[in-house]
Structure 1
Amino acid sequence: MSEQTPAVVAATYFDALGRGDVPTALAQFDEAVIWHQPGANRFSGDHLGLEAVGALLGGMMEVSQGSFQLAVTGPAMVNGELVAVPVRFSGRREGASMDMAGVDLLTVRDGRIIEVHLFSEDGAAEDAFWG
């Protein structure tokens, strides 16, 4: 099997997320992935390893009462093993909602996502939503 390029791995990941196919999305990560969640909320900080990232995503779905969504809003920009993807993410829960633009920066090596950095247009609003 040939190695997948960073662009293909990122496209597979975001396509799976868009379909709600969490197992396929998670299969794009390396076991030792590092996920950097921005802000000052319950999910902020570094999440190390596939299990921790799965728990993070599950927690976000739980807090958002299953409403959290992420959509790609433009073309992926590739620079070697880095892939920057413009996104829009939203969610709602009792008494709160969020809907904003962001950028997901993936580092893809040897056909697997090894690191994720997230950026949002309104960190304070995101913190308020996640609590």
Structure 2
Amino acid sequence: METTITVAKRYLDALAAGDFDAVAALFTENVAWHQPGGNRFSGTHVGGGAVGQLLGGQMAVTGGTLEVKPTGAVMVNDALFTLPVHFTAKRDGAEITMDGVDVFRVEGDRIAEVWLFSADQTTEDAFWDAA
């Protein structure tokens, strides 16, 4: 469990610093990122390149305004950790501000899988797919 806690702390530190290169370095080569919903970014993205494209696409669409901030303590269960979050973004006159929970699976000393859960998926889908 110490490794999971260590990885979680490294993730939090990189996220707080806005150091997305450090975040990406925490992922395994074949990381699987499960983006919820039914929008242009939804689905399972496998591999560092695919996850980088997903996150880069979200940053491009929002003009770099997408922010994810922890709202509570990391919770650890063996190789899994969860993080309650609040995310905000702006695009084309639209704004989103929403709570969520991110779940991570650690393999060795890196993140192998990520699942995101949003408080209101319908609203999030509408934000990402707004014309």
Normalised by the length of structure 1, the TM-score is: 0.94
Indicate which of 50, 53, 58 corresponds to 1:52. 50
Q: Deviations over 1:76-122 (max 9, x none)?
A: 11000000110001100122110010000000010010000000001
Runs of 4+ residues deviating >4 angstroms? none
Structure 2 CA distance for aligned equivalents of residues 84 and 107 of structure 1: 9
Once residues 68 and 13 of structure 2 are traced to their aligned partners in structure 1, the CA distance between those partners, rounded to angstroms, is 10
Q: 7-16 vs 121-130, which deviates more?
A: 7-16
> 2: distance between equivalents of 1:114 and 1:55?
17
CA distance in 2, matches of 1:18, 1:42: 27
Question: Displacement, 1:5?
Answer: 1.1
Match for residue 102 of structure 2?
Answer: 104
Alignment equivalent of 1:10, drawn from 8, 11, 15:
8
Instruction: Supply the RMSD in Å over aligned alpha carbons.
Output: 1.0
**How far apart are the structure 2 equivalents of 1:87 and 1:128?**
20
Listed as ranges, the gaps of 5+ residues in structure 2 are none
Aligned to 1:20: 18
Q: How far apart are the structure 1 equivalents of 2:60 and 2:13?
A: 21
Q: What's the offset of the Cα at 1:50?
A: 0.5
- Give the TM-score normalised by the residue count of structure 2: 0.94
